[in-house]
A and B are shown apart, each in its own frame.
Chain A
Amino acid sequence: MSTLTDPPKGSFRLSTLVNDTRYRSYTFQFIALIVLVGVIAYLMSNLFSNLAAAGLNISYQFLGSPAGYDINQTLIEYNSQSTNRRAALVGILNTLLVAFLACITATILGVIAGILRLSNNWLVAKLMAFYVEIFRNIPVLIWIIIIFTIMIAVLPGPKAFRGDMPSASMVLDAVAFTNRGVYIPAPIWGAGSLIVVAVFIFSIIGCFAYRRYATNLLYDKGRLLPMGWPSAVILIIPVILTFFFMGKPIGLDYPALKGFNFSGGVKVGGPLIALWFALSIYTGAFIAENVRAGIQAISKGQSEAAGALGLRQGRIMKLVIMPQALRVIIPPLISQYLNITKNSSLAIAVGYADVTATLGGITLNQTGRAIECVLLLMLFYLTISLSISAIMNVYNNSVKLKER
């Protein structure tokens, strides 16, 4: 909107500020600024007078003092004499760990369920619809509690593995499922194991190089090289050869029942498994819906055209449908990943030591620094969310249909 005639100069009245479109937006913004500053000042003055009345202050010094408590599942060195800062870091890593694991499994589950729900097999489609509806419509907190209770009540305790006629036994003598967690063998890195790892990394690179070469050959010359078994050979053979050549430098540390618990191996704690599993199947149901919507968004003409070109069913999916569907699927998928990260804060219900449980839970309780802890906690989640959104924006821009 623009005014047709300039109002005569020198006739400034107060109402001009509101009625003149040249000034109006400044007036409103000025009012908004005053209100904003006023509200913030009001809240802050309340905060400080409340704190002063209670004799408290805002201080982050507690971060440097010893935490005093132990954490059962840590990715980095930690003991009860470590600082609260380190405890928070342990929590952050645990949050990222469970979020990462859950994102992977939720994606796998979601893609399978989403595709199967579109399957022509009536029974499977209905079963998947049932799965999606049941998990989408019940709060994730209930699922976490249910799955944790299943873990605790159904799996045997370590006691069941004891004695001459144990009522439970380890799977393949290597993996023990107990209600405290799952014990799996841990690798022991002996001398020379670095070489094996290096060879493995080179094999992966080699595998990708071969696949790219084969694709280029197909596009340039029209010659079709086999993809499947050569990649497998490149991936496996050199590693195995080096492994034996170096004298089996990597061994396995099997868990064994010792004292009250299994020792040796790697323990994947019960709370982690429950949380991981619950977040995966809950979010998997949402992802399944996204995948289904994405595939259905591709018009049927696309698959018919691909069929008319003589492509097989699998290749239609891989070469025609999926590349287009992914553009629809990925943005909601990433916001589901964001949801997983945020929902992982429910770890508190099962006693998994994520950042909400360490920084926002035990540290908060033990130091009584509620405001500081909650602010740091929000800052952490905000950082994660904003970085994921930033990645999503970059992706969205890169796959945007280039309109001319």
Chain B
Amino acid sequence: MKKSVLFGALTVAGLTAGVAAAGTLDDVKARGKLNCGVTTGLVGFAAPDANGEWKGFDVAVCRAVAAAVLGDATAVEFVPTTGKTRFTALASGEIDMLARNTTWTFSRDVDLKFTFVGVNYYDGQGFMVPKALGVSSAKDLDGATVCIQTGTTTELNLADFFRSNNISYEPVPIETNAEAQQQYLSEACDVYTTDASGLASTRATFEAPDDHMLLPEIISKEPLGPLVRHGDNEWGDVVRWTLNALITAEELGVTSANMAEMGAGTNNPEINRLLGTEGTLGEMLGLNADWAMQALSVAGNYGEIFEQNIGESTPIGLARGLNAQWTDGGLLYSPPFR
């Protein structure tokens, strides 16, 4: 529904009738754009570059979904959200999906009524300290001042960790990652804690990254993944299987380089089903047959996206670790395309 501001205003006044709530998939198709909620700026995951172009790991998921649904990776409207606004933005329909390093928890799933469609990054909460502090374990942090991003699960994990280890700390709540950096670097806090991936991404932007280290303790499980509203299963399926397509493609060795070739048909029936040359998987989702091709053509499979945005060749330099394919001893395990 392409509506101008004015007619939005008229709608507010109740002068034009409200549009009946159709499925999100139909809405997105009718609108021709995907509204995707992202963070306000975390380099590597989602951040606008100097030209205002959104780049990052979460952004790539949004683009893949847009490409699968609309066939156009640029048909995405990125809506920056804070920890506070993200859930309401999704619940109120302002965004169609949220890909903002959001942890899958019981209460968010059940109480807040969201559907997590999968995990695109297995993370855990870590601590970063200056090397000069001479700390080698998080258990040595008794009495330390800790910077945390407020509104995240890290705040609760932190309280639990210090409480269960019976040591004290002083929390310094901070709204954005940029301010956390500022405070941490000027030593207004001894420790900065957030998801280990976020720490790595933050450290990469420092002038002297080597003066800082991550402590070995990972104090929580943080499965980060995209989420959609409860109750719209068709849409949830589209996002879920787009993510799975990226993961499966890596498992099956489909890359952006050999995709065109494989798209012509291979001996492996699963690849054929994935790429739409065999079976009617796309139709079942309500999409074109080449939906997965489109999603993969944006930036390649999961592994390629990982390498481009946060992998070891980037300044962020994250190892695959838990996020390797199950065949390589990681946790990534997509259900089969059948």
The answer to whether A366 touches B144, judged by C-beta atoms less than 8 angstroms apart, is no
Bitwise, B111-145 to A at CB < 8 A (1) or not (0) is 11100000000000000000011000000011111
Q: Which of chain B's residues 67-94 have a Cβ closer than 8 Å to chain A?
A: 83-84, 87-88, 91-92
Q: A50 contacts the other chain (Cβ, under 8 Å)?
A: yes
List, in ascending order, chain A residues with CB within 8 A of B21's CB.
53
Q: Do A260 and B174 touch (CB < 8 A)? A: no
Q: Which residue of A lies closest to B169 (CB)?
A: A70
Other-chain residue from A56, A79, A180, A366 in contact with B188 (beta carbon distance below 8 A): A180
Contact A69 B171 (CB under 8 A): yes
A56: chain B residues within 8 A (beta carbon): 91, 112-113
B55 contacts chain A at the CB level, 8 A cutoff = no
Q: Which of A131-139, A151-159, A311-319 forms part of the interface with chain B? A: A151-159
A127 to B151, CA, bound (A): 43
A219 close to chain B: CB less than 8 A: no
State whether A368 touches B112 (Cβ < 8 A). yes
Bound Cα distance A348, B175 (Å):
8
* Residue-wise interface mask of A (148-172) relative to B, using a CB-CB cutoff of 8 A (1 in contact, 0 not): 0100110001110000000000000
Please state if A179 and B188 are interface contacts (CB–CB under 8 Å).
yes
> Is B173 a contact partner of A362 (Cβ separation < 8 A)?
yes
Q: By the criterion CB–CB under 8 Å, are B171 and A54 in contact?
A: no
Given A348-B175, A362-B155 in contact, is the A370-B150 Cβ separation under 8 Å? Answer: no
Interchain CB contact under 8 A, A351 and B186: no
- A residues in contact with B169, CB < 8 Å: 70
- Tell me the total A-B contact number using a CB cutoff of 8 A: 110
Q: Decide if A229 is an interface residue (CB 8 Å cutoff).
A: no
Q: In the complex, what distance in Å separates the CA atom of A81 from the CA atom of B164?
A: 12
Closest to A81 in B: B163
Please pick, from A50, A55, A261, A353, the residue contacting B144 in the complex, using a CB distance under 8 A: A261
B150 touches A80 (CB 8 A): no
Q: How far is the CA of A16 from the CA of B183 in the complex (A)?
A: 71
B84 and A152 contact, CB distance less than 8 A: no
Interface residues on A, range: 35 or more
CA distance A153 to B188 in the complex (A): 9
Shortest CB distance B17–A (Å): 13
> Which residues of A lie under 8 Å from residue B107 when comparing CB positions?
368
Interface assignment of B284: CB less than 8 Å from any CB of chain A? no
Residue of A nearest to B163 (CB): A80
Contact status B231-A55, CB under 8 Å = yes
Given A261-B143, A351-B150, decide whether A54 and B229 contact each other with a Cβ distance below 8 A.
yes
Select one of B91, B158, B171 contacting A71, CB under 8 A: B171
Q: Could you mark each residue 317-342 of chain A with 1 if its beta carbon is under 8 Å from any beta carbon of chain B, else 0? A: 00000000000000000000000000
Is B190 in contact with chain A by the CB < 8 A criterion? yes
Please tell me if the beta carbons of B142 and A366 are within 8 angstroms of each other in the complex: no
Q: State whether the Cβ of B189 lies closer than 8 Å to any Cβ in chain A.
A: yes
Q: Chain B residues with Cβ under 8 A from A153's Cβ? A: 186
User: In the complex, what residue of chain B is closest to A38 when comparing beta carbons?
Assistant: B14
Q: Is A72 an interface residue (CB 8 A)?
A: yes
Which residue of B111, B113, B150, B229 contacts A361 across the interface (Cβ within 8 Å)?
A: B150
Instruction: A260 to B143: give the CA distance in the assembly, Å.
Output: 6
Q: Which single member of B92, B108, B231 contacts A368 (CB below 8 Å)?
A: B108
B84 close to A365 (CB less than 8 A): yes
In the bound assembly, the distance between CA atoms of A135 and B267 in angstroms comes to 74
Complex contacts, B151 vs chain A, CB 8 Å: 361-362, 365-366
Chain A residues 363 to 385 lying within 8 A of chain B, measured CB to CB, are: 364-366, 368, 370
Residues on A with C-beta less than 8 A from B278 are none
Q: Decide if A357 is an interface residue (CB 8 Å cutoff).
A: yes
Are B159 and A70 touching (Cβ within 8 A)?
A: yes
A70 and B173 CA atoms in complex are apart in Å by 9
A180-B145 CB under 8 A given contacts A55-B231, A152-B186, A157-B188: yes
Determine if B158 and A70 form an interchain contact, defined as CB atoms under 8 angstroms apart. yes
The proximity string for A residues 191-226 relative to B, scoring 1 for CB distances below 8 Å and 0 otherwise, is 000000000000000000000000000000000000
Chain B stretch 146-194: residues in CB contact (< 8 A) with chain A: 150-152, 155-156, 158-160, 162-163, 169-175, 182-183, 186-190
A371: nearest residue on chain B (CB-CB)? Answer: B88
Establish whether residues B188 and A361, one from each chain, have CB atoms under 8 Å apart when the complex forms. no
Please tell me if B320 contacts chain A, counting CB pairs below 8 Å. no
Extra contacts, 7 of them, besides A70-B162, A348-B175, A362-B173 (Cβ < 8 A), are A68-B155, A69-B171, A70-B171, A80-B159, A80-B160, A159-B187, A365-B151
Chain B interface (Cβ < 8 Å from any Cβ of A): 14, 21, 83-84, 87-88, 91-92, 107-108, 111-113, 132-133, 141-145, 150-152, 155-156, 158-160, 162-163, 169-175, 182-183, 186-190, 229-231
